[in-house]
Amino acid sequence: SYSPEPDQQRTLPPGWVSLGRVDSEEELSLTFALRQQNVERLSKLVQAVSDPGSPHYGKYLTLEDVAELVRPSPLTFRTVQKWLSAAGARNCHSVTTQDFLTCWLSVRQAELLLSGAEFHRYVRGPAEIHVIRSLRPYQLPKALAPHVDFVGGLHRFPPTSSLRQRPEPQVSGTVG
């Protein structure tokens, strides 16, 4: 097996408190980022449509054109879908570009599928925002390495606002 995100920070961000392990029958919604094709070509297309000196400037692609270009290979589809359905994943939804798959699994199924993961519930601040995350790293079968970029919903916590209310500025000698 291999770890898709060995360098992802997995410490509990300030302000979050653990409420303990999640019941193994609870349901999780996890997002699988499938390996795309033709990313290099996509980069060149972006340059062509964004460079005022290019004859293609402003000639943008539609979502369907982009889907045509980056959609994962049939092998990636088959491999990932076989892997997920064997694990009991259900209600899987894709997107137009077919490079993301969101599925529902029980905690038990997810912890078997993503070996090493351990799901806990966390809560933050007065707004009582709840999340379910795993601070432990997850591993995937090596056979998935060419097909999955990462799995969303395990390690990253929602951000906090950086807006601040500053004290009213004091400018000497002007407005009273």
Single out the residue of 87, 92, 121, 139 in contact with another protein (rule: CB under 8 A): 121
In which order are the strands placed within the sheet that holds 100-106? 90-94, 100-106, 27-34, 148-152
Say whether residue 6 binds another protein (CB under 8 A): yes
Nearer to another protein among residue 49 and residue 75 (C-beta): 49
Minimum CB–partner distance for residue 110 and another protein (Å): 9
By CB under 8 A, residue 46 contacts another protein: yes
Residue 5 CB, shortest distance to another protein, in Å, is: 4
Bridge pairing between strands 129-134 and 148-152 = unpaired
Neighbours of 132 (CB within 10 A): 18
Provide the Cα torsion 31, 35, 41, 44; round to 10°. 50
What is the maximal distance between C-alpha atoms in the chain?
Answer: 74
Task: Return the number of the residue (83 or 119) whose C-beta is nearest another protein.
Answer: 119
Q: What is the CB neighbour count within 10 angstroms for residue 127? A: 7
**What distance lies between CA 156 and its chain's CA centroid?**
8
Chain positions contacting another protein, by CB under 8 A: 4-9, 28-31, 33, 36, 39, 42-43, 45-47, 49-53, 57-66, 70, 95-97, 99-100, 102, 119, 121, 127, 129-133, 149-150, 152-153, 155-156, 158-169, 171, 174-175
